Homo-oligomer: A and B are copies of this chain.
Amino acid sequence: MEEDSKALIELRREFHRLAEPGWMEYRTTEHLIKALQDDRILLHYGKEIYAGERLGLPTKEEKERYSSGLHLAIEKAEEVLEGYTGAIAVVETGKEGPTIGFRFDIDALPLKESTDEDHLPHRLHFESDHLGAMHACGHDGHMAIGIMFTKWLAQHAKQLKGKFIVVFQPAEEGVRGANALVNGKWLEQVDYFFGMHIGMGLASGKICVGTEDILATEKIDAIFTGKSAHAGAHPEEGRNAILAAASAVLGLHSLPQDANGLARINVGKIEGGSGRNIVANHAQLALEIRGSNERVMEDLKAGVKRILEGAAIQYGCHLESSCKGRAEAWYDKDKLFHDQLTIFLQNKGYALSDFSMKGSEDVALFLNRVQEHGGKAMHFMLGSDLKAAHHQEAFDFNEEDLITGLDLFKDLVRFLMTNPIGNK
């Protein structure tokens, strides 16, 4: 136990150092693959694991920043360097039994890490190698658990039955990655699927079974292209993209009143124009919508389309809008499964707690696909006291909590070995 905790912390720090944002987890993927080298683990990666659109790909400049001069000592280095990052590890027991899936996310955030002495990664010198990229959401910890857990599965394959699929998913930030993986054949065979996140405000020592209010979301970029003109000499020749964007911003924020559920919209970024004396021929918005169910999402998407198109027409601009990320709502609706797990974990001594997220997580796509196919799925929150909130430069969780996450996954497997619930 003590030893496992040390190993988890060690691994977490290695990944923390490698911090790479979504679709650019080049060295992270290399490190994962090396860490999972084991005869009993079948490793899939590169293009073969992809079966859906990779949303929100980085720009050429961003990619170059992380890949330039990089040589990966793995077989499919080229595919990985094309952005087919992540991996799927499979452990087969050879015995009849349930297929059980797990998802761990692997990407970092485009954020400058704190250089404060209080910041553990800085003090202990495992801060990010990449200036401007940082594991500020705990995915480094997720990977540590995922690796240790997969190895444990391999080591205990003989005592276990059925099959285990462990997904190391890229680009969770911006809810981009799941979409590219969930349509594969992997999920069709899955009887049980588990996701987990660390922190989020839940205290160290606590576990939440069935995170509430995981909202559906769609991330949208809208670009208005007008026509530039000298603002003093010939304003009438311009088509003002900033005016179109302003009209859109106000219109978009009028959308979220919906009796069908919780609805949210946010235009979080705006940028437009080239000079103050030029009628702006360019303006763009980065926005997101969220909803507690698909009906709300349909209403919001239709509304966004109307507002953007109308704004473009108003000011004679061309509109180009694209989806940069997408996740679904997930609700812990399988009360029987919830209760069975709850009773089992309580008996095992876990301190359970309710938790409402009111945020989005693309693990929802895995959970929903499995449930749609008749499988069972659950999302857990792993409590951990934080130094600063997620996505902050001083974010840090308590490394001592990682072992609880690893134990949880082991216990879930133990439970399913002896208590097969609703197998297909």
Q: How far is the CA of A309 from the CA of B316 in the complex (A)?
A: 11
Q: What residue in chain B is nearest A109 (Cβ atoms)?
A: B275
Q: Which of chain B's residues have a CB closer than 8 A to the CB of A253?
A: 240, 243, 253-254
B259 and A266: CB pair below 8 A?
Answer: no
Secondary structure at the A interface, as helix, strand, loop or mixed, is mixed
Among A159-167, A283-291, A362-370, the one that faces the other chain is A283-291
What per-residue 1/0 map shows which CB atoms of A280-311 lie under 8 Å from chain B?
A: 10010011101000000001000000110111
Contact of A231 among B234, B274, B288, B391 (CB under 8 A): B288
Q: What residue in chain B is nearest A316 (Cβ atoms)?
A: B306
Among A29-37, A244-252, A345-353, the one that faces the other chain is A244-252
Q: Which of chain B's residues have a CB closer than 8 A to the CB of A286?
A: 273, 275-276
Question: For the complex formed by this chain, how many copies does it contain in all?
Answer: 4
Q: Which of chain B's residues have a CB closer than 8 A to the CB of A265?
A: 231, 257
Contact of A215 among B232, B251, B276 (CB under 8 A): B232
A270 and B288: CB pair below 8 A?
Answer: no
A 150-191 contacts with B by CB, 8 A: 174
Q: How far is the CA of A267 from the CA of B358 in the complex (A)?
A: 28
Q: How far is the CA of A269 from the CA of B264 in the complex (A)?
A: 25
Q: Which of chain B's residues have a CB closer than 8 A to the CB of A232?
A: 215, 217, 264, 266, 290, 358-360
A 216-259 contacts with B by CB, 8 A: 217, 219, 230-236, 240, 242-243, 245-247, 249-251, 253-254, 256-259
A270 and B269: CB pair below 8 A?
Answer: no
A315 in contact (CB, < 8 A): yes
Contact of A309 among B231, B287, B288, B313 (CB under 8 A): B313
What per-residue 1/0 map shows which CB atoms of A62-98 lie under 8 Å from chain B?
A: 0000000000000000000000000000000000000
Q: A250-B246, A290-B232, A314-B306 are contacts. A268–B279 as well, Cβ < 8 Å?
A: yes
Q: Which of chain B's residues have a CB closer than 8 A to the CB of A230?
A: 359
A423 in contact (CB, < 8 A): no
